[in-house]
Amino acid sequence: MQIKDKILIVEDDEGILRYLHTTLLANGYQAIVAADGRSALALAASHCPTCILLDLGLPDIDGGEVIRQIRQWSTTPIIVISARSTETDKAEALDTGADDYLTKPFGTVELLARIRTAIRHSNSMSDQNSIALTGTYEVGELFIDFRKHRVSLGSKDINLTPNEFRIVALLARHAGQVLTYKSMLHELWGPAASSDNKILRVHMANIRRKLEPNPDEPRYIFTEIGVGYRMADSEDHM
């Protein structure tokens, strides 16, 4: 018998909660629900869900605080589902520890795709073990050998500068996930790095000229405007 993935829905709007619950059940998931932050924290600890769908505007504690508390003990993927649509809101939630951010209103197809991606990345331990064993990343024609610092596109070797390689390797190790400018700057240049993302934008422009057949229509590195970057994974090239 197939074990169903269990999704925790944290939403105080009854209509949206009902829609999410019905959609998940119809698509083969288990679903448990919480209408406030404290209930969500209790259910997350007791049920160990595969993924959490989290509204930020909860009646007792803000969703951002729920993320912070869960991240103290769990790496369970968290998808924020919120009407807050500013770049600052998205970046703050992702920097706090959310894995993805879906703005209301949204469609069923997109919701299910985000959940599949989140669950796939929840197996990060096996993903990282795979990278540790093979030391490679491959999507479409793009191939990266982490150990040899080698990048190729089809049969053509791509010459990246050391900083360009570090950026591409970081994104590839988190393929499918949005990395915020802040988290990338911190990871690449340390906690004392400037918060100005101009250095990233300059490097990314050069990287895209080398990797993308058409930089205006990227196939491998996508921009979440005002938030960060995401490297393609297998689902982008199905």
Q: Between 233 and 80, name the one with better pLDDT.
A: 80
Give the tens place of pLDDT for each residue, 118-175.
887 765 544 554 554 458 888 899 999 988 889 999 889 999 888 899 899 999 988 8
Dihedral angle sign, alpha carbons of residues 210, 215, 88, 78: negative
| pTM, two decimal places | 0.63
- The DSSP 8-state label assigned to residue 128 in this structure reads H
Structure tokens belonging to residue 143? 């191939």
What are the strands, taking DSSP E only, across the chain? 6-10, 30-34, 51-54, 78-82, 100-103, 136-139, 142-145, 150-153, 156-158, 178-180, 221-224, 228-231
pLDDT tens-digit readout, 211-228: 998 888 999 999 988 899
pLDDT at 197: 81
Residue 91, amino acid: A
Q: Are 67 and 58 in contact (CB under 8 A)?
A: no
Q: Please enumerate in sequence order all residues whose Cβ is within 8 A of that of 132, keeping only pairs 6 or more positions apart, or say none.
A: none
Report helix, strand or coil for 102. Answer: strand
CA dihedral sign of residues 83, 87, 91, 92: negative
